Copies of this chain bind each other. A is one copy, B any other.
């Protein structure tokens, strides 16, 4: 018999408890062992829950109980999740999490501790909700030279952008709708400012490159600057706007970023709508594969968590990540990142824009002067914009092209 404890009895914790209970026979048949939920840690009591008798408020009960084999941390946030995880691993208990924040900040430390203690640390649910992403990517990494991982990593912002495209909503209207539907928090900053996607691309980058880049070294933009006008401009030239997390592996180093991108309507990621997530991996010789599915929600997330549990019970294995260490070694200067960019300005003339940017592709001249630059480095684009601002121009929008 294997005893487990669940830290946090919110939506995800409840989903995990339900799924383990419901699929118990199957889970046991495949894992080969009986599974018993021994404790559920939460600040609250749940007198009406079938799990009421398992709820405790003191973590030391759990971490000091030698019978507990696996701890499932679904509390979210960095603290006390960090302290609880360290204590669990040091006590020789395997840990599973859906908490991207704590993985993005401390995943390297946890993996080293787990290795030392001979236990497992797994976090499939931290990226892409229920989509099996991490394990297949790790498989791909081994025999491929990965050149890029990119994805729609946040369902809330994708829902908002989808509404802005399909219904012509403004950002504010789409956000209100997402909040009304429960897709966006009352304080939507972590989603709309790109913080959530940034944590996930940090984790994906670590899997592909072996380096856990500090999140503050990842260029991060949210979608608050995406205007209805930009949506219309994009549509007029067959492009869609998506908030992408990207990690590119180049000769000069790693570019990791979160930002809105314009991409062709027939690109695989352009077809990912609503609250769905998708992760695309490109490399040689695999070409490009994509994983698509629900990026959040109690059921899908619980499925990923219980998948990790099965894997631990069956094989007692870590992810076979080559290395996963902290360090910005290998992070390229973002100023050197090259792409084409959609820019919209007022107070500029065609001649001055061309003198600053070279051969541009003009897509709109009414009210604002909207154009797409040639491929340039970020530093060159910055300089050209500065030049136009110096001559009285005003920047309304700047969105990179994929």
The interface of chain A, by Cβ under 8 A from chain B, is 15, 19, 23, 26-27, 29-30, 130-132, 135-136, 139-140, 142-145, 266, 268, 271, 273, 284-294, 297-300, 302-303, 306-307, 309-311, 314-315, 317, 320, 322
Are B285 and A300 in contact, CB atoms less than 8 angstroms apart? yes
Q: A30-B322, A143-B19 are in contact. Are A291 and B290 (CB under 8 A)?
A: yes
Can you list 9 contacts pairing A with B, beta carbon distance less than 8 Å?
A15-B285, A23-B143, A26-B142, A135-B136, A140-B307, A285-B299, A285-B302, A287-B297, A315-B317
Residue on B nearest A290 in the bound complex, by CB: B292
> How far apart are the CA atoms of A297 and B29 in the complex, in Å?
38
> How far apart are the CA atoms of A263 and B300 in the complex, in Å?
24
> How far apart are the CA atoms of A127 and B369 in the complex, in Å?
49
B-chain residues with CB within 8 Å of residue A266 when the two chains form the complex: 271, 273
Closest approach, in angstroms, between the C-beta of A31 and any C-beta of chain B? 8
Are A140 and B144 in contact, CB atoms less than 8 angstroms apart? no
Are A135 and B130 in contact, CB atoms less than 8 angstroms apart? no
Are A285 and B19 in contact, CB atoms less than 8 angstroms apart? yes
B-chain residues with CB within 8 Å of residue A135 when the two chains form the complex: 135-136, 139
Closest approach, in angstroms, between the C-beta of A311 and any C-beta of chain B? 7
Are B30 and A142 in contact, CB atoms less than 8 angstroms apart? yes
Q: How many copies does the complex hold?
A: 2
Closest approach, in angstroms, between the C-beta of A35 and any C-beta of chain B? 11
> How far apart are the CA atoms of A306 and B306 in the complex, in Å?
28
| Residue of B287, B297, B315 touching A293 (CB-CB under 8 A) | B287
Are B293 and A290 in contact, CB atoms less than 8 angstroms apart? yes
B-chain residues with CB within 8 Å of residue A145 when the two chains form the complex: 23
> How far apart are the CA atoms of A185 and B314 in the complex, in Å?
43
Are A132 and B140 in contact, CB atoms less than 8 angstroms apart? yes
B-chain residues with CB within 8 Å of residue A297 when the two chains form the complex: 287
B-chain residues with CB within 8 Å of residue A306 when the two chains form the complex: 142-143
Are A289 and B285 in contact, CB atoms less than 8 angstroms apart? no
Are B311 and A299 in contact, CB atoms less than 8 angstroms apart? no
B-chain residues with CB within 8 Å of residue A292 when the two chains form the complex: 268, 289-292
> How far apart are the CA atoms of A142 and B303 in the complex, in Å?
9
| Residue of B29, B285, B290 touching A322 (CB-CB under 8 A) | B29
> How far apart are the CA atoms of A187 and B237 in the complex, in Å?
41
B-chain residues with CB within 8 Å of residue A131 when the two chains form the complex: 289
